[in-house]
Amino acid sequence: MSARFAGRTAIVTGASRGIGLAIAERLVADGARVVITARKKEALDEAVARLGGGEHALAVAGKTDDSEHQDDTIRQAVDTFGSVDFLVNNTGINPVYGPLVDLDLGAARKIVEVNCIAAVSWVQKAYGAWMREHGGAIVNVSSLSSVRTAPNIGFYGATKAMLNSLTELLAVELGPDIRVNGVAPAVVKTRFATALYEGREEEARQAYPLKRLGEPEDIGSVVAFLLSADAAWMTGQTVVIDGGVSLTAGEE
């Protein structure tokens, strides 16, 4: 598409499929090299092939909240491609579904660990290894449930609200040389979100003024914008990408 990210390297977590892979695809299309992470090596290897092979992408398998995995990923990014210019904290988990009064608190702690604490850790490590001296841009992938009540996934939304707050704090602390923004998608057609639309997609999309659910590419294009110089005067913002559903009274 363009060469606006030529010579730049991005780390995208949770990028073997879905939104993360779409973000990586868009960044590669715009000239970046990408380092993608996820738990399963086989899925990552398939994603690297889809991204054009080792010239454009590197896969590092591991758990996003594992500190050693984070260190290894950042080291390999610098050793292989020479920099860590961009970081996209895309990994998020939500292993529970239902009201808060039934919430498994052990699962709740794990959701906070992955969705919030791990994101901060990735930022710390990218900052120490590269961005402190060279600058950069960061995007945190949040959710519409962070700004609008979402029954049955409420704790997930609460962790994403915390991520929005962290985005603002990091933007203040890391400026002017590092920009930090976020995106908050509504329902996007991925395996992660199937419980929110499977078997009722026709009904679900009627609540959206644009009359469709999101596609991963809808998020990838906005993330690429936020990382680019076109967003040079934006920091601390979480951009809602929702097909207009937050303007309606119904639930997405």
Q: What is the mean pLDDT of residues 63-80?
A: 98
What is residue 139's predicted lDDT score, i.e. its pLDDT? 99
Distance CA 153, CA 36 (A): 27
What is residue 249's predicted lDDT score, i.e. its pLDDT? 67
What is residue 127's predicted lDDT score, i.e. its pLDDT? 98
What is residue 2's predicted lDDT score, i.e. its pLDDT? 83
Distance CA 68, CA 65 (A): 9
What is residue 195's predicted lDDT score, i.e. its pLDDT? 65
Per-residue model confidence as pLDDT tens digits over 174-227: 999 999 999 999 999 987 767 666 777 788 899 999 999 999 999 999 999 999
Instruction: Quote the percentage of the chain above a pLDDT of 70.
Output: 96
Q: Which residues is 185 bridged to in the sheet?
A: 241
Is this prediction's pTM over 0.85?
A: yes
What is residue 203's predicted lDDT score, i.e. its pLDDT? 86
What is residue 61's predicted lDDT score, i.e. its pLDDT? 98
Catalytic residue among 97, 127, 156, 197: 156
Please check the confidence at residue 24 and state whether its pLDDT lies above 80. yes
Q: What is the mean pLDDT of residues 52-62?
A: 98
Looking at every residue in the chain, the average pLDDT score rounds to 95
Q: Which residues is 141 bridged to in the sheet?
A: 183
Clarify whether 97 is annotated catalytic. Answer: no
What is residue 251's predicted lDDT score, i.e. its pLDDT? 45
Distance CA 24, CA 10 (A): 8
Per-residue model confidence as pLDDT tens digits over 83-139: 999 999 999 999 999 999 999 999 999 999 999 999 999 999 999 999 999 999 999
Structural domain boundaries in the chain = 9-247
Q: Decide the pairing of beta strands 136-141 and 178-185.
A: parallel
CATH code of the domain occupying 9-247: 3.40.50.720
Tell me which residue of 55, 56, 184, 182 sits closest to 123, measured CA to CA. Answer: 182
Q: What is the mean pLDDT of residues 223-241?
A: 98
Tell me which residue of 124, 15, 133 sits closest to 74, measured CA to CA. Answer: 124
Instruction: Quote the percentage of the chain above a pLDDT of 90.
Output: 90
Does residue 179 or residue 251 have the better pLDDT?
Answer: 179
Q: Which residues is 183 bridged to in the sheet?
A: 141, 239
3-state SS class at 121: helix
Cα dihedral 189, 44, 39, 100, rounded to 10, equals -10
Tell me which residue of 211, 139, 189 sits closest to 19, measured CA to CA. Answer: 189
Who's near 127: CB < 8 A, 6+ residues apart? 174, 178
Longest dimension (CA), the chain: 50
3-state SS class at 82: coil
